[in-house]
Structure 1
């Protein structure tokens, strides 16, 4: 029986850095399953999944982790700077090293983790600008208007004149694939989840520079 496409909600960095590999994996192992992508903020994704607009979602650091969910990636938060910035090319830097530059912060989903990173470093979180769209934030860094802290999955989104620099303290985030908590899972959601659980899948979907 051919079923209608399942809706999958994902945050922007996962859509760029993770989903192409997952889509290829699912197409290889589940050619009969069609997945329709919905890109949104963390808040929107949770609402879409709870409200039945989508059948599955990639959630970031859910607490608690939903029953039946599977981790599909782990990445870290890094500084994004221009390639001509004095900190570019460093093996790692302290978060405090960014204090000389205006901090540009994305409100699309990563802000709680960036706040936590500042807390771990004993620093006040004082963004110069709070920007919803990640691509707008990157354009502002590219223009020399400041620096930002982004997940390493954003690497594929960077223009050529921007680069990522690992940050200390190190802070990871975990991305998990799940179905809804309050209703039965669509059988195709269970199927794509099970493919992600296979040991050989890690090499297929791990983006460059993302730890698993």
Structure 2
């Protein structure tokens, strides 16, 4: 096996024309350079240098090995530049898992910000609905996953959760509903209404069921929908009422009224899941987390000025 470091030393000897000059340029002793050249010739199994006056010149084998040493040196320089760009966050790749209702409102503007600030970073997006994305994060198939998870949930080994946004649920009512004129609605006042389920059973539906239980009732679902836009269309058609997270509400269709609820107000906690060691190793991931935090903060401020706030 030929030692790459000795090949670079051979390159220095050939470029400078002598062992002594190469040793001086590299701040080595001439004997150390001579020993390394002897070891390299032993590895190559052929003479690489021959005397020429007071210096040395390469043999055919020496010239051949020098050409490869030059290529390797260039590749090492390119690798060092690429690593510097990666360390600085100028390049890189992040694989993201996300669920539908955060796509337009949170992920898209965060990625637009990331692209402006880190144009060399590539992103890979994949919907995680309905699968649990945490195994992908733990196994390294994803760098970050957006999840709905209560803040007091037990920790997951190897995963760090970064809180981003508290997404409150809003009551979506037919515009002629008896409570449509109220600015804020008591959740218990909706106990006897027909309900439209806007999320599949799981972490996004749980806050609604828990809030209703706290208000003393269980919602009577007459229509099941796993899409917020479709759920709102069912409300507009007069089939019932729905509780929809603010990020999923979007632009309500004609025929519905959106109101805040209280007593209690259901809220889902949106968090970013990353491997515990990832942020320190991936500047591109740190940039994505910063973009998500900034986008979530701006979303919170904007929401405070909406009519149902």
Q: CA deviation at 1:16?
A: 2.6
In structure 1, the gaps of 5 or more residues are none
Q: Which has the higher helix share?
A: 2
Distance in 1, matches of 2:275 and 2:304, equals 26
Q: CA deviation at 1:22?
A: 1.6
Is the counterpart of residue 190 in structure 1 residue 190 in structure 2? no
Higher relative contact order, chain-length normalized (CA < 8 Å, sep 6+): 1
Q: Which residue in 2 is equivalent to 1:98?
A: 190
Q: Which residue in 2 is equivalent to 1:83?
A: 175
Is the counterpart of residue 37 in structure 1 residue 132 in structure 2? no
Distance in 2, matches of 1:150 and 1:5, equals 33
Distance in 1, matches of 2:147 and 2:110, equals 15
Of the three residues 156, 176, 201, the one matched with 2:250 is: 156
Of the three residues 59, 63, 74, the one matched with 2:166 is: 74
TM-score, length-normalised on structure 2?
0.57
Q: Which residue in 2 is equivalent to 1:171?
A: 266
Count of matched residue pairs: 208
Distance in 2, matches of 1:49 and 1:195, equals 19
- Greater C-alpha Rg: 2
Q: CA deviation at 1:42?
A: 5.8
- Contact 1:18-1:207 within 8 A present in 2 as well: no
Change (3 A) 1:201 1:95: closer
Change (3 A) 1:65 1:31: farther
Distance in 2, matches of 1:38 and 1:24, equals 17
- What is the aligned-residue RMSD (CA, Å)? 3.1
Distance in 1, matches of 2:304 and 2:101, equals 12
Deviations 1:80-121 (A, max 9, x none): 123332322422111122234211112165211111111211
TM-score, length-normalised on structure 1?
0.79
Q: Which residue in 2 is equivalent to 1:64?
A: 154
- Contact 2:174-2:240 within 8 A present in 1 as well: no
Secondary structure of the residue aligned to 1:163 is: strand
Secondary structure of the residue aligned to 1:34 is: strand
Distance in 2, matches of 1:178 and 1:210, equals 26
Distance in 2, matches of 1:39 and 1:207, equals 27
In structure 2, the gaps of 5 or more residues are 1-81
